[in-house]
Amino acid sequence: MSDYRPPFTMTDDITMLVSEISEEIGRLSVLQEGHATPHLRRKNRIRTIHSSLAIENNTLTLDQVTAIIDGKRVLGNPNEIREVRNAYEAYELLLDLDPLSVDDLLKAHGLMMAGLIPENGRFRSQGVGVFDGEKIIHMALPAEFVPGQINDLFEWYRKSSLHPLIKSSVFHYEFEFIHPFADGNGRMGRMWHTLLLGKWKELFYWLPIEELIQSRQKEYYEAFNNADNASDSSCFVTLMLGIIRDTLKNTDQVSDQVTDQVDTPVQRLLSVLGDETLPATGIMKRLGLSHRPTFRKNYLDPALEAHLIERTIPDKPNSSKQEYRRTQYNGG
């Protein structure tokens, strides 16, 4: 029997954050009831994939990621395009995965890293370090210990009496500390955190936590380093709980209330656009607008961000030949 016990200290901040998150979950659960739709779930899934890959230095824009997942041709680095397709395939499997199955972890990694590394779907066979530029900031344990450590981590999670919000964050840190794969550890750790939370509360399957992680990327890596130095994951757990709380507070996109959420300017844009494909100037003319910055701020950008319309040339947002049309989820 393993006596594996991740170093973690409960703090008042962590207790308070769990309470605040629980309140937000209650609020969103009421909004979500009876309203969740494939459109919003897919939209948030795409945002999740874009942000998680951006953390790993994938340079594709959200529009490009959306276009790739829609099966459209996008000009870009072939490996980055492959990363998007792989991640989408892996996340599509999310609801069928057992978060405490090592076989399912390897299966998901096989999909996530297919065609990108030789050891996809397998634990690493060599030592690996985490670098900040040329400076090594974490040397992972030798490869021969990885399978045993991962099995111990899964067994600890299964038996732990900690709150799921806390122990999933501890798991996230420990997973990255072990660094079980030759590559793809960051995206797999974040995906598995989502899976653990989703098995507890379904709304986490569709919550784009990675977006806020990306916006606080420096803090995210600093928390890893501080936890390493302290031999205690509490500071990382605190950061992750803060990110989860803030994501919950700032989202009402788990439920399908698109019509209520869309501002009147966007409704007007959709109305004048109809089923046609038009350039920005054509849409502005129909709206009776002449000031392009106002049009972009109040009409065009919100409609694009809500994925109610799309560019006809997604890989060249500023193309002079750019036109816009409704998405397939909005009457297109």
Q: What is the pLDDT of residues 135-170, one digit of tens each?
A: 766 678 899 999 999 999 999 999 999 999 999 999
Q: Which whole number is the average pLDDT over 58-70?
A: 95
Cα-based angle 78, 86, 224 (whole degrees, multiple of 5) = 100
Residue-averaged pLDDT of the chain: 88
Q: Look at residues 305, 271, 276, 275 and name the one whose alpha carbon lies nearest to residue 288.
A: 271
Q: Look at residues 55, 56, 88 and name the one whose alpha carbon lies nearest to residue 70.
A: 88
For the cut 60, the answer to whether the pLDDT of residue 33 exceeds it is no
Q: Look at residues 184, 170, 175 and name the one whose alpha carbon lies nearest to residue 233.
A: 170
At 223-255, the pLDDT tens digits run 999 999 999 999 999 999 999 999 988 775 444
| Ordered domains of the chain (ranges, CATH) | 12-249 (1.10.3290.10), 262-330 (1.10.10)
For the cut 80, the answer to whether the pLDDT of residue 257 exceeds it is no
Q: Residue 259 — pLDDT band, cuts 50, 70, 90?
A: very low
The whole-number pLDDT of residue 29 equals 67
The whole-number pLDDT of residue 132 equals 62
At 307-326, the pLDDT tens digits run 889 999 999 988 999 999 99
